[in-house]
Structure 1
């Protein structure tokens, strides 16, 4: 944990998005259940998952790193969830609310825990349908208000939905899961504390999934119009509170590297920050910001991502 956090600092990042699983938050299993967890971190001998999360938050704070908690899955061993919603056959909405309420209470006093990413990539949901069990926008309001009732200072990250069936359908240029915020201005998320809302789309290139627009003769110059339709337009209705929750890809592929360079340029131009997926190099189709030795930087990605400005967290420490 120490060496990886030191790498995050050395690479110039100021924050971590930490994925969690609802069933593990509920059961709080022993760390020994995970291969290598204690062998690599002796201080976790006999500890449970939330103890490990406490330690991560503490060590991140010692290094002036912010932490965004991300409810990444409902079930740790299942991805993708068949329903793609904030509930399934094993977990109701109330379970997710209870977990977030507990986490908000547990970390409200931790200055560097800045937000709750309510659910990763709710790709089976609609946005704006008005149906209780279908409209992710309405569910995000309920979940976000529950978090804020417990810890009013936290930021509430709300991702987009997926593709059909969604409202509205984003035409032939399908969005990535979590990237469809096309209706976020016409059907906005209304929290009891509006200034806590952050819209957080996910966007990837051809190393993650094939899209028709990656095959267009104009690629990659056609991407900005697609991003504006999917999520960029929300900058006009979200008071600038838009953070790309996931981006990245396999920079060894020329077509994906072109995508990443183009996206970083768009983010620079629009003043949008983001979280790179992922730190670890064994992340399948995206690889990582660390090279295969888990210590040094992927030099190509480092060159691309250093173009994004990074604020000094130490300036705001204690006032987040």
Structure 2
């Protein structure tokens, strides 16, 4: 570990506290010059570190994503990668899934250049205003259902967001998180098959969250896409940690019925008339409920239909509010 990383580790452990240069030099066994250079480099990389004669250095969390800060606060079973820029966190997770020694991994990025959502649609992933992360979950002895995982992660992410931001998160079946009638997050689950056995070897769950507004998002999408806050002082590390901790708890929670109860409570399409696209087929009807497998129970003119996978393309709310 280089001096810059070692100094950041130490300051992060004393978040919000003044740490003298003498203390850093003595504890880390480095020179004052090395500490000064490390601080300058960290500041150039947008870490908020204040310096004051007689007091030393003060680290304050900000929007800059830090592997050090995140790793200190998550369960040790996770392997963590944090990238400033990447093509796609899901693509990176797929690369890791192909390695012989696959471990539970979280890939986090400040920016994606080719982020994608369902049906291969482009997912705008601008720098500094969102978080983009993918969980690589080896199956092993566990029985992981990608559909149930998507609904469970939607609940986990909603709870994590509400922990930090003053918002009420709703869910649009199956994988969109909505705040103030605008989409603020999307979730994409992908199963990875073992070629030899033909069975699922791992599941990747990608999450993209719009924390603050961005001018990069095209104007035609802005009426649909929202953000969690308009504040410019963001602690994105805390958001990442909250989501990882919530997903960790989800994977250990065997009470799937209780998770689905919360999913149904948050899901605002229940009781609404919708149009659902399933491949090339479209169904119109009223959503009766979401069952414990995450399937839509749709009352159509010809009777009740169960929709396990698909996309709601039209949603007619009585108040006409939703813009997703």
Q: Under TM normalisation by the shorter chain, which class is it?
A: under 0.3
More strand by share: 2
TM-score by length of 1: 0.23
- Indicate the structure (1 or 2) with the bigger Cα radius of gyration: 2
TM-score by length of 2: 0.23
More helix by share: 1
